[in-house]
Amino acid sequence: MTARAATVRAHANIALAKYWGKADIARNLPAVPSLSLTLKGMRTTTEVEFLPELGQDELFLNGARALGKPRERASKLLSEARSLAQVATFARVRSHNDFPTASGLASSASGFAALALAAVEALGLRLPLERVSALARAASASAARSLYGGYVELGASAEHAAPVAPPEHWPLKMLVAVTSEAAKDTGSTDGMQHTAKTSPYYASWVSDAPRLFAEVKAAVLAKDFARLAPAAEQSALAMHASMLAASPALIYFRPATLAVIEAVRAARRAGSACCFTIDAGPHVKVLVEPSSAAAMQRELAGVEGVLRVLESEPGPDAQILPGGAAELSP
């Protein structure tokens, strides 16, 4: 095979109805349905080059060579793509995030979505986007959702994600209150396994999550913020409740996490259309109607322990960049 390359840009996504737990560990199928918002401006750009001279896959993350687990996970996805294309050539992957990688801001979702589409494109495979989403899902289930823009769902035990509504359907703002620069200490796969094995609340989470997902989906389709807010917050907190009841407890909250929750609840009592969600990390993501966004941004920036606030809005599908390799260097 001659050298072939492709460059893809994919966006982070934040779940409004959370995924936590696996129905099938080996195939990485989710135990519960989830619904997310793909975010404009929080992007991963990934170039994949299949090069006959390589003796193994190589991964560069933000310019630095990555070894160990990150390289193995990328290599596993590349091997799936190689077997579909029936080639044996290894690849050099150069991936760059324009948002902080180490601080648990959903970089695996945009990263594996970009890698899956770039690998498929570089190999000349003509696959429907849902097959690419399935390839990404096997590496990180939330990555299946980042292939699509706007509001996106991933069903329980689903192979691939599916679009629910395009970005322009409901142009809300998402504010990310960053509360720590540290890398998270428990990754999501380990955290899910630990919760499933040791938390008496895990079964309750799995049985109630579909109801919360249905509520979030109906609210998104109806653009009904008053319906969305309680369902999205309950989904995030029920997921965290299952982790808090694990043994030992999995606590991702920091004092600043709770301070932001309080600020959002106070703003809502004062009439703002806003709600929070929290992933497997200490940051708080605040969904807000555009008319309340500037005031909310100032409010969050003033909360003790908030380091900075990123602002985003619904973003597009993953895109193949024409000749886009030039802007990356290892």
Positions in the binding site for ligand PMV (CB under 6 A): 15, 18-20, 34, 108, 140-142, 188-189, 279-280
Q: Which is nearer to ligand PMV, 139 or 296 (CB)?
A: 139
Q: Please tell me the total number of residues recorded for the chain in this structure.
A: 330
Least distance between ligand PMV and beta carbon 15 (Å)? 3
Which residue's CB is nearer to ligand PMV, number 31 or number 85?
Answer: 31
Which among 148, 128, 144 has a CA at the least distance from the CA of 136? 144
Residue 238 C-beta: closest distance to ligand PMV, Å: 12
Q: State the nearest-atom distance from the C-beta of 327 to ligand PMV, in Å.
A: 26
Residue closer to ligand PMV, measured from CB, 47 or 279? 279
Q: Rank residues 113 and 309 by Cβ distance to ligand PMV and give the closer one.
A: 113
Residue 297 burial (CB count, 10 A): 18
| Secondary structure class of 147 (helix, strand, coil) | helix
Which residue is listed with tokens 């292939």?
147
The tokens describing 45, both together, are 């750009």
| Cα–Cα distance for residue pair 98/43, rounded to 1 Å | 6
Strand pairing class (58-61; 91-97): parallel
Q: Which residues pair with 198 in a beta bridge?
A: none
Tokens of 149: 């823009």
Q: Which two tokens stand for residue 326?
A: 């030039």
- Assess contact for 95 and 115: CB atoms under 8 A: yes
Tell me whether residue 7 or residue 38 sits nearer to ligand PMV (CB atom).
38
Question: Min. distance of Cβ 236 from ligand PMV in angstroms?
Answer: 9
Smallest separation, CB 34 to ligand PMV (Å): 4
Rounded Cα distance, 58 and 159, in Å: 27
Is the Cβ of residue 32 or residue 175 nearer to ligand PMV in the bound state?
Answer: 32
Q: Residue 120 and residue 4: Cα distance in Å, rounded?
A: 11
By C-beta, is 108 or 297 nearer to ligand PMV?
A: 108
Q: Of 89 and 103, which has the nearer Cβ to ligand PMV?
A: 103
Give the nearest distance from C-beta 4 to ligand PMV in angstroms.
28
Rg (CA), the chain: 19
Question: Which single residue is written with the structure tokens 């996970």?
Answer: 73
> Does a cis peptide bond (omega within 30 degrees of 0) precede residue 314?
no
Q: Least CB distance from residue 188 to ligand PMV, whole Å?
A: 4
DSSP one-letter string for 253-273:
--HHHHHHHHHHHHHHHTT--
Least gap, CB of 35 to ligand PMV (angstroms): 9
Q: What is the DSSP string of 121-179?
A: HHTT----HHHHHHHHHHH-GGGGGGGS-SEEEE-TT-SS-EEEE-GGGS--EEEEEE-
